[in-house]
Amino acid sequence: VNPKTTYRRILLKLSGEALMGEEGFGIDPKVLDRMAQEIKELIEMGVQVGLVIGGGNLFRGAGLAEAGMNRVVGDQMGMLATVMNGLAMRDALHRAFVNARLMSAIDLTGVCDSYNWAEAISLLKSGRVVIFSAGTGNPFFTTDSAACLRGIEIDADAVFKGTKVDGIYSADPVTNPDAELYSHLTYDEILDKELKVMDLAAFTLARDHSMPIRVFNMNKEGALKSIIMGGTEGTVIDH
């Protein structure tokens, strides 16, 4: 462990939307390469990184169901979308000379490994980035739930949720210039103030297992590294 870093092992959650950059759909290779570089810096500091990627840039089950599709089938498409994002991220990491393994909660022999807890821990310990794709493997869940679940399973120090803004605000910072950025909130404050961090299933899982959540701006270059080094950017949620 690098004595300079505050975190030993993290679970980083990136939304699918974060990968599409300026485009309205799909994956922007420039964004992917930048994220790979940011993750590389953490690995070089000795931080172990588990990654959960969403699929909202490609498919969301709820949206497909609204358009008339069976929800379970839509969610299966959403989960497979996260595998596609995972393949793209693994490729970007490999091109950046970062060792990375892609695991999926749905068996996809020949494409990537199946999720295996013991193997994931061992890979993390040896400095590999482990990408956990296909969410929880179950419909009606989100990749935020998968992030909290895998974060708890791998005993991460915190779940890092990358967003488009600096953290959690008292109001929407895009429409309200007086919105105040919180640096720390308890799980109960989030619930009392009805602040939206992630869906309730994901949030209560984190709370029940005392898994801290750190919300930060993934679009701000270097923010992730700075927090890892003890910086106070973003919002910390714990008890």
Residue 60 lies near ligand UDP (rule: CB under 6 A): yes
Interacting residues with ligand UDP between 9 and 28 (CB under 6 A): 15-17
Tokens of 11: 């679970």
Judged by CB, which is closer to ligand UDP: 120, or 146? Answer: 146
State whether the Cα torsion 227-128-23-61 is positive or negative.
Answer: negative
**Considering the complex, what minimum distance in angstroms separates the CB of residue 133 from ligand UDP?**
9
Site map for ligand UDP, 110-149, x if CB under 6 A?
Answer: -------------------------xx-xx-xxxxxx---
In the chain, the largest separation of any two C-alpha atoms, in whole Å, equals 53
Judged by CB, which is closer to ligand UDP: 62, or 174? Answer: 62
Q: Nearest residue by C-beta to ligand UDP? A: 54
Tally of CB atoms within 10 A around 178: 8
Helix, strand and coil content of the chain, in percent to the nearest 5, comes to: 40, 20, 40
**Considering the complex, what minimum distance in angstroms separates the CB of residue 63 from ligand UDP?**
7
Residue 79 lies near ligand UDP (rule: CB under 6 A): yes
**Considering the complex, what minimum distance in angstroms separates the CB of residue 19 from ligand UDP?**
8
Is 169 strand, coil or helix? strand
Rounded to an integer, what distance in angstroms lies between the CA atom of residue 123 and that of residue 130?
A: 7
Judged by CB, which is closer to ligand UDP: 104, or 143? Answer: 143
Q: Report DSSP state, residue 233.
A: -
Tokens of 140: 């009606």
Beta strands 181-182 and 168-169, pairing class: antiparallel
Is 205 strand, coil or helix? helix
Residues contributing to the site for ligand UDP (CB under 6 A): 15-17, 54-56, 60-62, 74-75, 78-79, 81-82, 135-136, 138-139, 141-146
Q: What residues are designated binding site?
A: 13-16, 55-56, 60, 75, 136-143, 163, 169, 172
Q: What residues are designated binding site for UMP?
A: 55, 75, 136-143
